[in-house]
Amino acid sequence: MKTYKPTTPSRRQMTTVDYGVLSAVEPFKSLTKKLQKHSGRNNQGRITMRHQGGGNKKLYRIIDFKQDKLDVPAKIETLEYDPYRTAFIALLLYRDGERRYILCSKNIKVGDEIIASENAALKEGNRLLLKNIPVGYLVYNVELSKGKGGQLARSAGSYAEVLAQENGFTNLKLSSGEIRKIHWNNFASLGQVSNPDHNLVTIGKAGRSRHLGIRPTVRGSAMNPCDHPYGGGEGRTQRGTRKPKTKWGKITGGRKTRKKKKLSGKYIIKKRK
């Protein structure tokens, strides 16, 4: 983490991730595209997600979550920042000359060689079938459905731990505490996602939130009664409702939102905390 000299009040608290490990290069042009900004609006122009808008311009990097180029070794050419995700990304140069972006693992370096194969070596960054990964190993970018690409453990510093191999399924413990069964013919990458210090970042000042595309949030207790369940009253008053609620009166902070009859519920051995 980088800290700063307290030249201003906001600078005193501000911290940022140290990007010294990344390559000083422009993104690979053919693997980028411009995404249209919607600022939280739907196709009718109505705000459906509040507090979004503005922010710095950014290019989307096309990430290969499937890594379906099997048995072809690839060299890590660069490690790069990605404005659309918390983790770092790596540019692979395959032996046949093709280049692809992948999620970068924690201890990988420029020049390392990795491979995606059903029986790849147990080396960080390699991608292989879950059934070939021993108990106790950490994995990331885990497939939920065969061939769909990684969906689990993709954010900065996250990982899943292999707990058991039984009856065609691998038991994984996720970072939420949930333990679930995943078919052992699905692929996963060995290791932990890069940038584990991301959760230690202190924004420090309001302007930095605006650069990230986050607009201000008004407290419900500062509104009028017609605008929020917490609104109104003389001076600072208590919440006035037994359970915490959203602006629209929906219960929040403790209500279960997962559907009870969801088909994939049978694969959850232990629910998250």
pLDDT in tens, 29-60: 999 999 999 999 999 999 999 999 999 999 99
Q: Which domain holds residue 152?
A: 18-38+57-199
Q: Please state the domain count of the chain.
A: 2
- Regarding whether 87 and 123 lie in a shared domain, the answer is yes
Residue 4 covered by a domain: no
User: Are 187 and 227 contained in the same domain?
Assistant: no
Using a CB cutoff of 8 Å and minimum separation of 24, what contacts does 141-147 make? 141/65, 141/67, 141/103, 141/188, 141/189, 141/193, 142/172, 142/182, 142/186, 142/187, 142/188, 142/189, 143/182, 143/186, 143/187, 143/188, 144/182, 144/186, 145/186, 146/183, 146/185, 146/186, 147/66, 147/68
pLDDT at 63: 97
Same domain as 142, residue 28: yes
pLDDT in the model for residue 78: 96
Contacts 24+ apart (CB under 8 A), 15-20: 15/200, 15/201, 15/202, 15/204, 16/201, 17/195, 17/197, 17/198, 17/201, 18/197, 19/81
Give yes or no for residue 253 having a pLDDT over 90.
no
Residue finishing a domain among 142, 165, 199: 199
Residue 259 sits in a domain whose CATH number is: 4.10.950.10
Query: Of 96-110, 174-188, 249-263, where does mean pLDDT reach its minimum?
Result: 249-263
Would 144 be classed as within a structural domain? Answer: yes
Same structural domain for residues 114 and 229? no
Q: How confident is the model at residue 171 (pLDDT cuts 50, 70, 90)?
A: very high
| Domain end position, chosen among 152, 167, 199 | 199
pTM as predicted: 0.91
pLDDT band at residue 254 under the 50/70/90 scheme: confident
118 and 180 in a common domain: yes
Same domain, yes or no: 64 and 186: yes
| 193 and 64 together in one domain | yes
The token duo for 202 is 């202190």
User: For position 28, what pLDDT does the model report?
Assistant: 96
- Same domain, residue pair 158 and 81: yes
Contact yes or no for 115/67 (Cβ under 8 A): no
Show which of 143, 167, 199 is a domain's final residue: 199
User: What pLDDT score was predicted for residue 245?
Assistant: 92
Q: What is the pLDDT of residue 228?
A: 95
The CATH number of residue 85's host domain is: 2.30.30.30
On whether residue 50 sits in a domain, the answer given is no
How much of the chain exceeds pLDDT 90, in percent?
A: 94
**pLDDT, mean of residues 197-222:** 96
Same domain, 227 and 167: no
| pLDDT score at 257 | 87
Position 43 in a domain: no
The 10s digit of each residue's pLDDT in 100-139 is: 999 999 999 999 999 999 999 999 999 999 999 999 999 9
**Within a domain: residue 11?**
no
What is the residue-averaged pLDDT of the chain? 95
Does residue 181 belong to any structural domain of this protein? yes
The pLDDT, as a whole number, for residue 240 is: 87
8 inside domain = no
Instruction: Give the span between the Cα atoms of 140 and 119, in whole angstroms.
Output: 17
Same domain, 221 and 250: yes
- Does residue 261 sit in the same domain as residue 127? no
Tokens found for residue 54: 């503005």
Q: 161 with 26, same domain? A: yes
Establish if 117 belongs to a structural domain: yes
